[in-house]
Every structure is written in structure tokens, then in C-alpha cells.
Structure 1
Amino acid sequence: MIPSFFMAHGAPSLALEHNDYTALLKNFAAGYPKPRAIVLFSAHWESREQQVSASSAPYETIYDFSGFQPELYQVQYPASGEPELAKEIQALFQQEQIPASLDSVRGLDHGAWVLLHLMYPAADIPVIALSVNRHLSNAEQYRIGKALSSLREKDILIIGSGGTVHNLRRLEWGASQTTDWAAQFDGWLEEKLNAWDLDSLFQYEQLAPYAKEAVPTPEHFIPLLLAMGTGDANRTASLMHRSYQYGNLSLSCWKFA
């Protein structure tokens, strides 16, 4: 069974950077069998009802940001979708009474292509993008991920793309050390993930130190719960990488096997 992953996508410029985290992403394909398809929840696609990309044509690359270096706007990720898999995913959601709609128009936002450009630069693996809904409870987010757990038995790679500490208002440009509150939040999170402590994780807003600083809005945290839900059968979490940019923008990768 192929593992699923939560991966931070950082700032869009990550696609052009060379550091320990991008090295992990670039070497990812060498460590695992090539997946038949990739299913990715992106923090940058929000909707009230679960959306599933169902295009068969190559995706448009969406540049949903501004003010970055010109070469970033030249990056293309023309992966194709797989409509039959999209329908299968919709059916899995419907089996669990999770409303889901197919979308055949939207391209890939930077929450998807920044990671995939580094991991699979040939763009030769079908991609199904999925939206997130910040209006659901944390338990419901986990349940959405759990509904897709059977895909892992079909050589399909599931990724939740977001960030555990993602507060753009609190970034410290030029900082050489990690902000203490970010490290404390991620330390608490590591403990609860390793223990698969769902009761605490579902109440992280009340229980985790500096939760409001680390997660001012939930859309980047939600993909962690979605990816974790896909690993409910075995409940084994492994921290593959954690570093920070700008003092507190976390670059972390969790594996759920």
C-alpha cells in the first residue's frame, strides 16, 4: 500500500529554490514506486462543497499570486487529469454521504504545481485536484480523507498540500532562527500526530500552544487532517522533514503509512 503525505508548499518561490526541503521533494520519486495517479488536496482551492477535478485535457497552470520573480511565471505543469478516476472519487465520497461535484474547468493552483513540479517534473502522471472546505469540523475533515483510503491500495498517491504554521502577517524576513511560538506549536503537533491522538488534534485550536498565531485561518492546516484520515487503517505517522523560512513559515512533510 502506497503511503499518503502531508506536504507544505511554502511560498510559490519554493518551486525555484534549492534547500534541504526542495532536495527531499526532488528525490521523492527515487524513494517510492511511480504512482498510477496523484490525488491532491490544495489549500488554495476552497469551496463549500467538495470539488473533484475531472478534466481530461492538460491543466492550465494557475499563477494565483503576485510580486514574485518573473521566471516563476514561466513554470508550466501541464499534467492531465483522469475523468474516470474523478468519478470513482466522487462515488467514494457519496458512499460516505459526503456531497461532491466534478469540475472540468479549473487548472492547477500553486498549492498543487509547486510541489509536483519538484517531485515529478515530467508532468506525466495523471492528477486529480481536490478542494478544501474551511467550514467543516476537524473530525469531518478527517472523515473526508478516510473516505479515500482505499485508493492507496491502487497505487494512487494522496497528498495534502498546505502548511502547519502559515501566518503571512507574522513572517520575519531575514530571520536566521525559528520563531519560538512556531516551534512550540509544531512540537505539540508532532507529539499528537505520533500518538495519533485524534481527540487532541480535533481540538487543536483550544489545546495547542500558540494555535491562533500558527493557524490564523484553517485552510492550510486542513490538508494535514485530510491526509491523516487516509491513513486511518494503520495509524502510523512519520515526520520526514521540518524546517522554517522567514522565521516561522513551516516546511514540513509527514508520511502516513
Structure 2
Amino acid sequence: MLPALFIAHGAPLLSIENNEYTQFLHSLGNEMPKPKAIVLFSAHWESSAQKVSDVDEFETIYDFGGFPEALYRIKYPAKGNSAITKEVIELFAKQGVPFEMDTTRGLDHGAWIVLRMLYPKGDIPVISMSVNPQLTPEEQYEIGKSLSSLREKDILIIASGGTVHNLRALRMGSDNGTVDQWAFDFDKWLEQHISNWNLESLFKYDTLAPNAEYAVPSYGNEHFIPLFYAMGAADQEKIGKLLHCSYRYGNLSHSVWQFGESK
């Protein structure tokens, strides 16, 4: 059985950089058993209804601007898998999770940056999933929980986002490895409560966590909430382990959480 993962996708430049974090993601992909398929929730696909992809081969979406030309030449032509899409929607139907099919959308950078780091060959089928910032954390958790049985079939569940993601607070000229105290304190609070699987507090992170208004601003909670989808997929085990945490630009967190165990 594979774990569920929450992976920060960072800034688009990450896709052409070689640093501590990219090296970690490459190693992680090499160390984990190769999954049969990947179900991926991306912060960059927001929808009021849960979207589930049913795409034969994904286009690569460049949903950013003003970056070096090299980023726009990257292709990650992952394929879908209709049989696994069917498994996903059957689980949603069984658990009463409303959903809609999507047969056209490609992979946004929240998806392909992470996937390309882990599995550069692009030879693992992908089912792309949206997130809904309007749901409560409890509801987001339940969506992930409804898919937990996929892990027993060697299907890897990934949620892509970022625990501290405040674009207005970034210090792009400061990339020396230092971290703002407010960002560090927020992530340490998360680590404590995730390690203890304290859902009661985590679901109220916006009022209980220190500096939550800076780490998860009201205009940008879509990057934080994928965490709950990934946690829900490991509800039976309730085990959370921080695999990596580093920072760029003063406070942009590069964290990777593993939920559940690989068996």
C-alpha cells in the first residue's frame, strides 16, 4: 500500500532549478515503489464542484507569466486511465461526493512540476483532480477519505500546494536560506498538530495557528487546503510524517508530508 503525499510545488522556476528541494523530490521518486497510477489534487485547479479528469493524454498548461522561455518549452505528456477514473467516480458515488467529469483540461504547473520531479519519464497514468476552497476543512478531508482504498491498489494520492504561500509577502531578492519567523512558527504549529493527528485544532487552523493570516491569506487558501485532501486519504492510519521542509524567498515553504505508511 502506498502513502498519500502533500507536496509543495513552489514557484514555477523550481522546474528548471537544481537545489536542495529538487534533489529531494528526485530522490523521493526513486525511493518509493512505482505506483500503478497517480491521483493528484492541484491547488491550481479550483472548482465549486469536484472535478475528475478523464483525459487520454494531457496537454501541458503554462498557467504563469513573465518567466524564462525554458519553462514554456517543458512538456509533460502524461496519459490518463479511464479504468482508474471509473474507480474514482464509483468511490465518490458510493460516499455521496458530488463530482463532474472533465475530458479536456491539461495539467497545470501545480501538477506537472511535482510529477516531473518525481517521475520524469511521465510513464505513470494520472487522474487530475480539482480542489474547492469554499468547502470546510472537514469536507475536504472527507473527499480524501473517500479515496483511501485506492492506496491499497498501489495508486499514489498526491495533493499539491504549499503550507505557507503568501505571494505578497515574498522577498524575491532574498534567497539565502533564511526564513521569516512568522512562517517558521506557523509550520512548527502544523507539524505538532499533524504529528498528533489533532483534527479538531487543524480544522480551526485559521483561528488557532500562529500567524495564519499571513501564512494562509484569505485570498490564497487554495494552496493550503490540499493538505486536508491528502490527510483524509490516510484516515485509517492517522499517521503523519514530515519528510522535508525548507524555504525560499523568505517564507515560501517547500514541505513534503507523508500520510499513512508504505506497506
The TM-score, its normalising length taken from structure 1, stands at 0.98
Once the two structures are superposed, residues 100-153 of structure 1 have per-residue CA deviations (whole angstroms, 9 ceiling, x without a partner) of 111110000000000111111110100000000011001001000000000000
For residues 127 and 228 of structure 2, the distance between their equivalents in structure 1, rounded to whole angstroms, comes to: 18
What count of residue pairs does the alignment treat as equivalent?
256
State the match for 2:196 in structure 1.
195
CA shift for structure 1 position 174 = 2.7
State the match for 1:153 in structure 2.
152
**Are 1:188 and 1:208, in contact at CA under 8 Å, matched by a contact in 2?**
yes
AA aligned to 1:36 is K
For residues 238 and 88 of structure 1, the distance between their equivalents in structure 2, rounded to whole angstroms, comes to: 28
Alignment partner of 1:229 is 2:228: no
CA shift for structure 1 position 29 = 2.5
* Identity across matched positions, percent: 55
Of stretches 169-178 and 58-67 in structure 1, the one that deviates more from structure 2 is: 169-178
Q: Per the alignment, in what secondary structure is the counterpart of residue 240 of structure 1?
A: strand
State the match for 2:91 in structure 1.
92
Q: Per the alignment, in what secondary structure is the counterpart of residue 232 of structure 1?
A: coil
1:25-174 map, 5 Å: 25-56=25-56, 58-174=57-173
Once the two structures are superposed, residues 171-194 of structure 1 have per-residue CA deviations (whole angstroms, 9 ceiling, x without a partner) of 012323101100010010000000
State the match for 1:250 in structure 2.
253
For residues 33 and 145 of structure 1, the distance between their equivalents in structure 2, rounded to whole angstroms, comes to: 21
**Are 1:86 and 1:102, in contact at CA under 8 Å, matched by a contact in 2?**
no
Can you give the 5+ residue segments of structure 1 that lack an aligned partner in the other structure? Answer: none
Of stretches 16-25 and 205-214 in structure 1, the one that deviates more from structure 2 is: 16-25
Q: Per the alignment, in what secondary structure is the counterpart of residue 30 of structure 1?
A: helix
CA shift for structure 1 position 13 = 1.0
AA aligned to 2:52 is V
Q: Per the alignment, in what secondary structure is the counterpart of residue 27 of structure 1?
A: helix
For residues 100 and 29 of structure 2, the distance between their equivalents in structure 1, rounded to whole angstroms, comes to: 31
For residues 76 and 5 of structure 1, the distance between their equivalents in structure 2, rounded to whole angstroms, comes to: 23
Q: Per the alignment, in what secondary structure is the counterpart of residue 159 of structure 2?
A: strand
CA shift for structure 1 position 91 = 1.4
Runs of 4+ deviating beyond 6 Å:
none
AA aligned to 2:81 is E
For residues 93 and 184 of structure 2, the distance between their equivalents in structure 1, rounded to whole angstroms, comes to: 39
Alignment partner of 1:21 is 2:21: yes
Of stretches 203-212 and 173-182 in structure 1, the one that deviates more from structure 2 is: 173-182
Q: Per the alignment, in what secondary structure is the counterpart of residue 164 of structure 2?
A: coil
